[in-house]
């Protein structure tokens, strides 16, 4: 039975798109509700279009704007919804264990909605293939599927490796993967375990000594017997010795294991950062700086805290509970059995809330990464924010993500706030039952008062440790969520791998050959069957409209990406056979917007060649025409350039960048719009520096102003990833083809800009005539 399209308020969320309400109303069953939806903005040919994917409790619906009918897929075991990012295009794939069922495309502006859609789908598909326990749903607050959608799930942005990202919650078992980092410290960990065993055993001695103190000293004294001073001294000495031994062993255990956990955390942080830097440029295309910083910073800190504090407490609690149970059973098995009654109930509660907390903490981590993303966007661009008077807008943007962070934390705290007091109540009830049964045992002369006193002392420690161990559930799930986000980086395989059998060039000459190379961003072909050769020492210019493939070609030659088809050869060797670091050391790159690191000018010039002498730094600066302005700075070469070089002008930053490239003496030089963002006078100064840089090197130049490429020995004109013309400036102008049209168009634009404004003069002349 279909629902009435005029009354959809009970089935559609309040913010559901209006233009889709009537259309989807025709397909929804009675009482069928939309739990999540996504408006897609690309069709199968990657042209801009519109469509909708909607998820209900039992099926997934989809339709493009130009389709006549809706498509529907009921949930089945093994169905998966995954997504992949490919250089700005997000592909969403629905599949089962046998085949792909459907595929949709959208831009990365829909990324957060995609994350929410996939998370909701994973939750609903699990609910349809397994029957959840009603009590568990009530305890964890999961009795309404509309209440919660996940925040951003990671995407692996790699056109070559096609890494998949799914919204499956992380398992606690992922923590065992940290053993990879703990293995080098296995003997220190073993020592810590022995110390933990000893300190726990020493802490259990005092309650055991209370039995003879009560039965052999205090109770006989109440019955009229004198106190045996020697016996009291013996027992009290035992208590003191046990306390001192427990303190010494506890301090040694804590210090040893804390040192190990700090080193494990440091190794984890270093390994993650090292692996991150070795990933290809494609990986960073779909990532946010704040998110990556949060993973390496906050997530590793959380894991380190878990290893150094929570895991240590958990292990101590387990040992204490185990030893306590053994002692209780040895003293009185029936009383011990009564003591253990709350344990199965607490274990059941932990099982109920564990997954809920784990998913909740993963969402918290991701929303916190969004907060970092806003900061990473706003603070570096503070000049733009102030220039456009957008402070209030950015404040509202931060408030929105911060409020979402609060809301998700409130959901997690709601679950945790119910769980913790419940465990405490159960332990108090267990203690009450022990009192009742213990008093009855004493009244029946089955146990002595000393035994009951010792039992109560042990039970106090037992329930304290049980309560502590239940609280560690929260920290464990936080650590599991953080570990998953760390291993999302470590498990990613670079789309630009190191060669299995590397070839080493003894001396690079700079001969470049492109053989039938093609390259795709996802399904969009950007470079198509390019063939040309660059001789050593030759300078060529790449010319073409924006989007013709010039910068992509540069990225391929630098091996920031690998070609999809064909090969690029340097001195007759495929660059994929060369070690990446060794190959890139022969490439000097000068970009349109040079990036300078926070530090001194000398450190920035020497970035590509650490440890170089001050003499070489000055020589490179002189050749780059930067020496004069550097000397005018307050501290010369030791002057700080500020965050991203903000203390310098654009032309000064560019000349520092040229000096940096000169210092490494590259055989291949790449100039990517090196003078397009500066004025004419600065361009002339930079051009002089570039003349020194180009001399004797194989050079590939891209320039916005075609006039700057007239000195190139050859110009390669690109259009839609293909070569349309080749030749020098004079030859191409004589042909009056594609290059000629570009040059004339640019010349007319330049003439229009340089033409004086005579409107005011004409008005004055007309005014005088009147």
Q: CB within 8 A of 378, min separation 6: which ones?
A: 385, 394, 397, 398
pLDDT for the residue numbered 159: 32
CB atoms within 10 A of CB 697: 20
Buried b / exposed e over 429-456, threshold 16 CB at 10 Å, is ebbeebeebbeebeeeeebeebbbbbbb
Best mean pLDDT range from 66-80, 417-431, 642-656: 66-80
Residues 176-216 have pLDDT tens digits of 888 888 888 888 888 888 888 888 888 878 877 877 877 77
pLDDT for the residue numbered 311: 77
The answer, yes or no, to whether residue 224 has pLDDT greater than 80, is no
Q: CB within 8 A of 463, min separation 6: which ones?
A: 427, 430, 431
Q: Closest Cα partner for 124 from 78, 183, 57, 170?
A: 57
Report how far residue 727's alpha carbon sits from residue 715's, in angstroms, rounded to the nearest whole number: 5
pLDDT for the residue numbered 4: 43
Q: Closest Cα partner for 43 from 79, 21, 67?
A: 67
Coil/strand/helix, residue 716 = strand
Report how far residue 5's alpha carbon sits from residue 670's, in angstroms, rounded to the nearest whole number: 61
Kindly state the tokens that stand for 23.
């259309």
Q: CB within 8 A of 616, min separation 6: which ones?
A: 609, 663
| Exposed / middle / buried, residue 135 (Cβ in 10 Å: 0-12, 13-18, 19+) | exposed
| Contact between 540 and 533 (Cβ < 8 Å) | no
Residues 361-390 have pLDDT tens digits of 667 767 777 777 777 777 766 656 766 677
pLDDT for the residue numbered 411: 77
Strand (E) or helix (H) holding 532 = strand 524-534
| Contact between 670 and 700 (Cβ < 8 Å) | yes
pLDDT for the residue numbered 286: 65
pLDDT for the residue numbered 354: 65
Percent of the chain, pLDDT > 70?
Answer: 81
From its phi and psi, is residue 71 left (phi > 0), alpha (psi between -120 and 50) or beta? beta
Percent of the chain, pLDDT > 90?
Answer: 1
pLDDT for the residue numbered 688: 67
- Computed over every residue of the chain, the mean pLDDT equals 76
How many Cα atoms occupy the beta-carbon half-sphere of 737 within 13 Å?
Answer: 18
| Exposed / middle / buried, residue 571 (Cβ in 10 Å: 0-12, 13-18, 19+) | middle
Report how far residue 26's alpha carbon sits from residue 608's, in angstroms, rounded to the nearest whole number: 63
| Exposed / middle / buried, residue 130 (Cβ in 10 Å: 0-12, 13-18, 19+) | exposed
pLDDT for the residue numbered 769: 32
Strand (E) or helix (H) holding 637 = none
Report how far residue 725's alpha carbon sits from residue 565's, in angstroms, rounded to the nearest whole number: 22
| Contact between 211 and 219 (Cβ < 8 Å) | no
Lowest mean pLDDT among 180-194, 306-320, 555-569: 306-320
The answer, yes or no, to whether residue 421 has pLDDT greater than 60, is yes
pLDDT for the residue numbered 146: 34
Best mean pLDDT range from 107-111, 442-446, 637-641: 637-641
pLDDT for the residue numbered 281: 75
Report how far residue 636's alpha carbon sits from residue 600's, in angstroms, rounded to the nearest whole number: 9
The answer, yes or no, to whether residue 301 has pLDDT greater than 50, is yes
Report how far residue 249's alpha carbon sits from residue 573's, in angstroms, rounded to the nearest whole number: 62
Under the banding of pLDDT at 50, 70 and 90, the label for residue 485 is confident
Q: What is the mean pLDDT of residues 275-297?
A: 76
Kindly state the tokens that stand for 95.
């599949």
Report how far residue 478's alpha carbon sits from residue 90's, in angstroms, rounded to the nearest whole number: 29
The values of phi and psi at residue 81, to 5°, are -120, 115
Question: Which residue is it, tokens 């000097």?
Answer: 588
Q: CB within 8 A of 718, min separation 6: which ones?
A: 542, 543, 544, 548, 549, 550, 553, 724
Residues 125-178 have pLDDT tens digits of 877 755 433 333 333 333 333 333 233 333 333 333 333 333 444 467 788 888
Report how far residue 208's alpha carbon sits from residue 129's, in angstroms, rounded to the nearest whole number: 52
Query: What secondary structure letter does DSSP report for 510?
Result: -
Report how far residue 478's alpha carbon sits from residue 682's, in angstroms, rounded to the nearest whole number: 53
The answer, yes or no, to whether residue 556 has pLDDT greater than 50, is yes
Q: CB within 8 A of 379, min separation 6: which ones?
A: none
Q: CB within 8 A of 2, min separation 6: which ones?
A: 26, 27, 28, 29, 30
Kindly state the tokens that stand for 509.
């000459």
Q: Closest Cα partner for 51 from 115, 10, 107?
A: 107
Query: What secondary structure letter does DSSP report for 491?
Result: T
Report how far residue 189's alpha carbon sits from residue 167's, in angstroms, rounded to the nearest whole number: 34
Q: How far is CA 214 from CA 31, 231, 445, in A?
A: 69, 12, 15
Residues 536-551 have pLDDT tens digits of 888 888 888 877 888 8
Q: What is the mean pLDDT of residues 625-644?
A: 83
Coil/strand/helix, residue 341 = coil
User: What ranges in 491-570 are assigned the alpha helix state H?
Assistant: 550-557
Of residues 612 and 166, which shows the higher confidence score? 612
Of residues 763 and 523, which shows the higher confidence score? 523
The answer, yes or no, to whether residue 554 has pLDDT greater than 80, is yes
| Contact between 285 and 492 (Cβ < 8 Å) | no
pLDDT for the residue numbered 157: 35
pLDDT for the residue numbered 711: 75
Residues 54-103 have pLDDT tens digits of 888 888 989 888 888 888 888 888 888 887 765 567 888 888 877 888 88
> What angle, rounded to 10 degrees, do the helices at 342-378 and 391-443 form?
170
| Contact between 597 and 648 (Cβ < 8 Å) | no
Length of the chain as a residue count: 770
| Exposed / middle / buried, residue 40 (Cβ in 10 Å: 0-12, 13-18, 19+) | buried
| Contact between 112 and 151 (Cβ < 8 Å) | yes
Q: Closest Cα partner for 521 from 36, 14, 42?
A: 42
What order do you get walking across the sheet with 573-574 strand by strand? 524-534, 512-521, 565-570, 573-574
CA dihedral 254, 324, 477, 163 (to 10 degrees): 90
Report how far residue 579's alpha carbon sits from residue 568's, in angstroms, rounded to the nearest whole number: 14
pLDDT for the residue numbered 277: 83
pLDDT for the residue numbered 317: 78
pLDDT for the residue numbered 131: 42
pLDDT for the residue numbered 681: 63
Query: What secondary structure letter does DSSP report for 557?
Result: H
Report how far residue 539's alpha carbon sits from residue 695's, in angstroms, rounded to the nearest whole number: 9
Lowest mean pLDDT among 45-49, 132-136, 415-419: 132-136
Q: Closest Cα partner for 38 from 96, 94, 97?
A: 94
Lowest mean pLDDT among 9-18, 606-615, 642-651: 9-18
pLDDT for the residue numbered 85: 66
CA dihedral 618, 619, 622, 624 (to 10 degrees): -110
- Would the pTM count as exceeding 0.75? no
- Bridge partner list, 83: 92, 165
pLDDT for the residue numbered 151: 32
| DSSP assignments along 189-255, one per residue | HHHHHHHHHHHHHHHTHHHHHHHHHIIIIIHHHHTTPPP-HHHHHHHHHHHHHHHHHHHHHHHHHHH
Count each helix (H run) and each strand (E run) in the chain, helices first: 27, 17
């Amino acid at each position: 039975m279909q629902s009435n399209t005029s009354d959809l308020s009970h089935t559609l969320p309040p913010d559901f798109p209006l233009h889709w309400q009537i259309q989807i109303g025709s397909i929804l069953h009675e009482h069928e509700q939309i739990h999540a939806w996504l408006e897609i903005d690309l069709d199968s040919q990657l042209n801009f279009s519109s469509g909708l994917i909607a998820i209900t409790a039992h099926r997934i619906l989809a339709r493009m704007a130009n389709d006549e009918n809706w498509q529907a897929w009921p949930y089945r075991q093994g169905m998966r919804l995954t997504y992949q990012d490919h250089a700005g295009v997000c592909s969403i794939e629905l599949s089962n264990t046998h085949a792909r069922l459907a595929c949709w495309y959208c831009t990365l502006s829909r990324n957060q909605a995609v994350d929410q859609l996939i998370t909701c789908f994973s939750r609903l598909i699990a609910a349809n293939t397994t029957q959840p326990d009603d009590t568990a749903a009530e305890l964890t607050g999961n009795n309404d599927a509309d209440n919660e959608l996940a925040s951003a799930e990671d995407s692996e942005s790699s056109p070559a490796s096609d890494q998949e990202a799914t919204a499956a919650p992380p398992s606690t078992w992922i923590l065992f993967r940290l053993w990879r980092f703990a293995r080098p410290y296995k003997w220190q960990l073993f020592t810590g375990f022995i110390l933990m065993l000893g300190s726990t055993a020493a802490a259990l001695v005092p309650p055991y000594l209370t039995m003879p103190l009560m039965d052999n000293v205090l109770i006989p004294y109440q019955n009229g017997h004198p106190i045996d001073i020697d016996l009291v001294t013996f027992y009290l000495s035992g208590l003191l010795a046990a306390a001192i031994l427990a303190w010494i062993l506890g301090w040694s255990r804590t210090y040893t294991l804390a040192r190990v956990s700090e080193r494990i955390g440091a190794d984890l942080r270093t390994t993650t950062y090292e692996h991150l830097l070795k990933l290809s440029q494609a990986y960073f295309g779909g990532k946010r700086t704040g998110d990556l910083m949060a993973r390496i910073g906050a997530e590793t800190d959380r894991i380190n805290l878990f290893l150094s504090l929570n895991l240590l407490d958990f292990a101590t609690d387990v040992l204490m509970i185990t030893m306590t149970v053994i002692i209780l059973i040895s003293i009185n098995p029936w009383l011990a059995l009564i003591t253990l009654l709350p344990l199965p109930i607490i274990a059941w509660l932990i099982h109920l809330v564990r997954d809920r907390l784990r998913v909740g903490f993963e969402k918290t981590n991701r929303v916190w990464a969004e907060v970092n993303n806003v900061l990473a966007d706003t603070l570096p661009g503070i000049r733009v924010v102030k220039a456009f008077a957008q402070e209030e807008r950015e404040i509202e943007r931060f408030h929105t993500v911060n409020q979402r962070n609060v809301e998700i934390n409130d959901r997690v705290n709601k679950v945790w706030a119910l769980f913790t007091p419940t465990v405490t109540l159960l332990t108090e009830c267990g203690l009450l039952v022990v009192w009742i049964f213990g008093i009855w045992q004493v009244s029946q002369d089955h146990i002595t008062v000393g035994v009951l006193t010792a039992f109560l002392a042990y039970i106090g420690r037992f329930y304290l440790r049980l309560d502590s161990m239940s609280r560690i559930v929260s920290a464990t799930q936080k650590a599991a969520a953080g570990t998953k986000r760390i291993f999302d980086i470590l498990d990613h395989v670079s789309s630009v791998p190191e060669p299995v059998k590397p070839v080493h060039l003894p001396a690079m000459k700079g001969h470049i050959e492109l053989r039938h190379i093609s390259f795709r961003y996802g399904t969009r072909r950007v470079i198509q069957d390019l063939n040309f050769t660059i001789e050593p020492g030759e300078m060529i210019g790449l010319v073409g409209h924006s989007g013709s493939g010039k910068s992509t070609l540069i990225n391929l030659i630098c091996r920031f990406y690998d070609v999809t088809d064909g090969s690029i050869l340097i001195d007759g060797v495929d660059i994929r056979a060369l070690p990446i670091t060794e190959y890139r050391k022969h490439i000097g790159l000068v970009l349109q917007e040079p990036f300078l690191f926070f530090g001194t000018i000398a450190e920035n010039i020497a970035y590509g060649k650490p440890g170089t002498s001050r003499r070489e730094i000055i020589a490179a600066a002189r050749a780059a025409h930067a020496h004069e302005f550097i000397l005018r700075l307050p501290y010369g070469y030791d002057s700080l350039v500020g965050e991203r070089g903000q203390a310098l002008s654009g032309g000064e930053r560019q000349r520092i960048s040229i000096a940096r490239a000169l210092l490494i003496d590259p055989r291949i030089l790449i100039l990517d719009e090196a003078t397009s963002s500066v004025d004419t006078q600065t361009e002339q100064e930079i051009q002089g520096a570039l003349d020194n840089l180009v001399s004797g090197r194989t050079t590939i130049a891209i320039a916005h102003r075609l006039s700057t490429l007239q000195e190139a020995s050859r110009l390669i004109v690109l259009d839609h990833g293909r070569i349309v013309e080749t030749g020098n400036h004079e030859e191409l102008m004589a042909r009056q083809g594609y290059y000629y049209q570009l040059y004339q168009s640019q010349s007319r634009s330049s003439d229009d800009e340089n033409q004086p404004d005579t409107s005011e003069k004409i008005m004055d002349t007309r005014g005088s005539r009147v």
